Amino acid sequence: MAYRYQGNSNAELVGALEEDHLFQDANVKRAFLSVPRASFLPAEYAHEAYKDRPLRVVELGFNVSAPHMYAFTLEHLHIQPGCSFLDVGSGCGLMTALGAYLAGPNGTSHGIDIIPKAVTMSRNSVQNIIAKGVRLGTVTFEVRNVFLPDKEHRKWDRIHVGAACSQKKKFYIYDLLKPGGILVVNTFPLFSRFSLFSLSLLSSLLPSLSLLSSLLFLFSLSLSLSLLSSLFSLLSPLSSLFSSLLPSLPLLSSSSLFLFSSSSLFLFYSIFLSSSLLFSSYFSDACW
């Protein structure tokens, strides 16, 4: 896998990602070749630039995702020439710059972050690569919290949320999309540790989990319902048989039903939670 790769140059890293079939769109590959990761990292992290793993920039308080996650995300964003792209939690500015390359001269790419030093570094990094001859669309950065009202009421064709976003708050971000737009966001759903969502505006009314998590949910729920059904079928004849002998049996049956229902729901929750956590171990590398 590319995420185990430790290269010495941008070209070698891109080659490793290509071997892992992470580039379905040739434009995404060209963007990676034109916008090197090293140009967006502090000098002291330069030796880590072409290793396919996430980095923590302690001094500035943000993470830089692994290169394979940039590729995976851009493939799902489908940024086309002329698109407007919003990068929320832009950090070092690399995703914003890659988006600007894909959006082209008629597109716009706007990065926002709540850390002023990160925004300043991003601006400098973009200016440096433009000075070296890299052609990007319009690139801007802003210190702003995406959950605060935007005075300009801007809408975007594509939105990427690099920082983790709660299930509740991601619906606010949907409102920033233009009709038919695409949002890729890291979220913390109720049961699983991490899921990656790639959703269009038309489907945003329905909360969704990853495919495997959804299947695990349905399996666990059906198992719990089957157990409850079996309980009812067992207790019903017993209740009618002994109700005349034991007046308290209806109460006993009700208590048993309550206890068994509670235990079944707990079993359902436990199966789904543990399964989702096992599955999310795959995404823990992928999403940071």
Which position among 39, 65, 220, 224 bears the catalytic label? 65
Do 97 and 75 contact (CB within 8 A), yes or no? no
Tokens, residue 178: 């233009």
CA dihedral 44, 49, 55, 56 (to 10 degrees): 20
Return the bridge partners of 166, or none: 188
Return the bridge partners of 196, or none: 186
* Residue 122 designated active-site: no
Q: How far apart are CA 76 and CA 53, in angstroms?
A: 20
210-237 b/e with 16+ CB inside 10 Å = b? beebeebbeebeeebeebbeebeeebee
Helices in the chain by DSSP H: which ranges?
10-19, 26-34, 67-77, 94-103, 116-131, 167-174, 211-242, 249-287
Q: How far apart are CA 34 and CA 192, in angstroms?
A: 36
Phi, psi of 125 (to 5 degrees): -65, -45
Supply the residues annotated as catalytic.
65
